[in-house]
Structure 1
Amino acid sequence: MRHIYSRRRTETLDYMQSMLGQLRTMAEAERCDLLAYLIEMAYVEASDIIRGERPARVQQRGDGRRDVA
């Protein structure tokens, strides 16, 4: 069961990354530099999560600081 969830999650992240790539291209074509940059950062974040180099969630602790989950 865990394998099915993991595969579905990876497929979803792959799809999101693909859409972000297309949105970045559109933003660049319209010369929306800041928007293209922010979309690029989301694209890189999705890539890192897919490769396991970054956690998918960041949780708030009781003292206001954030923990990576």
Structure 2
Amino acid sequence: RRATKAEAALRGELPNEAAFRAAAAAEFADARPLRDNAFKPELATRTLAAVLAELAKGDVA
């Protein structure tokens, strides 16, 4: 599925680390962990931000 909340957060923004972190946080803002995996929403947020930065390599300010 598409990361529509992240897409919306990135629209009109310059490609930089802060924008990527904000977009990832927006995408997973409603994520609720299940028992024994409370770390997963934060892990997913950091992973998405890192992937966005990797995809934009060369254009990150």
Q: Answer whether TM exceeds 0.5 for this pair.
A: no
TM score, norm. by length of structure 2: 0.39
Higher Rg of the two aligned structures:
1
Task: Determine which structure has the larger strand proportion and give its number.
Answer: 1
TM score, norm. by length of structure 1: 0.36
Task: Determine which structure has the larger helix proportion and give its number.
Answer: 1
